[in-house]
Structure 1
Amino acid sequence: MKKLLLFIVICVTLASCGPQIYQAPSFSQVKSNHKVVAVLPFDVAIESRKLPKGVTPEMIQDEQRNYGYGIQSDVYGYFLKEMSKNKYTVNFQDVSKTNAILNNAGFSYSDLSLKSKDELCKLLGVDAVVSGKATMSKPMSDGAAIAVGLLVGAWGPTNTVNTTITIHEGNAGDLMWKYDYVASGSIGSTRQSLTNALMRNSSKKFPYKKS
């Protein structure tokens, strides 16, 4: 009996760590009208209980912005490789064009989270937008780890990164698809390895993928 209970607990624990996926019931019909999709800079948050000496909140904000644009570029690069293999039913807008339009409209990185997705879709001239969040957490008993992360983009083995990638359609800006993924250890140690892990796993359920 005890072994059975232990087995159930282990199964529940493993399941809770797995990816969480949401898809709107109407998305199967809506996506047939989508031709061009834009990838937005990711919303990145670096959580820490204590900043080491010499590291300012402004430095953290700069790193969050750099990570956000970096993940955007990585995700677009992944889509570009898959498009070359004719795996998707849509095309993805070049991120250089996306960011130029946003910049010309006066939208800074921090402004994007305040704008509705339908507003951004109309501005960018696309049918939907892919966006996402990445929350990086690190126990700060050794706060210097953050300083190392800021300097070389590397994070320790106890680092955890909660990532989400979403799709919002352009007409009403409604959430159509959402994939939550948790990366830890070496997977979350660099931006590129984090993005690769997120895309490798989410691409299996990515709704624009040809059947």
Structure 2
Amino acid sequence: MKKILPLILLLSFCTIQAQKNIYENQHFDAISKDHKVLAVIPFLANLELKDNITNEELTKLEQKEGYAVQNALESYFLRGKKKKKYAVEFQNVKNTNALLAKHNITFKNIDIHTTKELSKILNVDGIISGNIDLNVLLSDGVSTDFNFFDYFDGNANYGRIGIKVSDGDTGKLLWKYEKEINKKTGKNTIDLIDGMMKKAARKFPYDKERTKKSKKD
């Protein structure tokens, strides 16, 4: 019993922390009631690496990390759709990126375009976007070997990620989830997204059962 109690307290603490890091618009149900398709766009990435590299190389690596998160999120949502979890569809990221390229929107300039502009170009009801700040190349894979002293010298902390969903018609923020990235998060981008989205699963607003209830009400 003495061993179980600390574990329960730890799990409770993690749950509370996850909830604190999640925001949902109080008018979500009303704003999103007609949403059918969402697009996941490349994430804005910021890398602070110890390696001595050129600005051009850094930009390429940031682009790589941004697209890695986009692909990992698509994979996660597609697996969820197979289990019939979501009330919306998710646009194929290849189509998303092709449409963006057709309108001369690249990783370098996507941040100057509004959610409303992007939604119109992509012909979707909402946009899933975000930021990721890293001091490692997570998409290449990182060590998950636990070392107690890493948490004192900062080597266990890899950065932070924020995922948000915005309404296409109004541009309003509907949902946001932020999380720190560290050794416990996982060994690569896929692990990161799978882990954090599983923790947020009950809070992700496009749950099919929740949508059915809101429509009845």
For the criterion TM > 0.5, the same-fold answer is: yes
Conserved? CA contact 2:68–2:139, under 8 Å: no
For residue 140 of structure 1, what is the aligned residue in structure 2?
none
Pair 150,177 (structure 1): closer, same or farther in 2 beyond 3 Å = closer
State the Cα distance separating 1:186 from its structure 2 match.
Answer: 4.1
What do residues 30-79 of structure 1 show as CA deviations (whole Å, max 9, x unaligned)?
A: 2111011111111111124xx434x2222221111011111101101111
Alignment of 1:155-170 (within 5 A): 158-170=156-168
State the Cα distance separating 1:134 from its structure 2 match.
Answer: 1.0
For residue 142 of structure 2, what is the aligned residue in structure 1?
154
State the Cα distance separating 1:154 from its structure 2 match.
Answer: 2.7
- Structure 1 unaligned regions, length at least 5: 1-9, 138-145
Q: Distance in 1 between matches of 2:138 and 2:74?
A: 24
One-letter amino acid of the counterpart of residue 176, structure 2 = K
- Structure 2 unaligned regions, length at least 5: 1-8, 145-154, 210-217
Q: How many residues align?
A: 187
For residue 4 of structure 1, what is the aligned residue in structure 2?
none
Pair 209,136 (structure 1): closer, same or farther in 2 beyond 3 Å = same
What do residues 157-190 of structure 1 show as CA deviations (whole Å, max 9, x unaligned)?
A: 5232211110100112111111111121142542
**TM-score with structure 1 setting the length:** 0.80
RMSD over aligned Cα atoms: 2.5
Q: Distance in 1 between matches of 2:88 and 2:191?
A: 25
Q: 1:130 aligns with which of 108, 128, 131?
A: 128
For residue 171 of structure 1, what is the aligned residue in structure 2?
169
State the Cα distance separating 1:209 from its structure 2 match.
Answer: 1.1
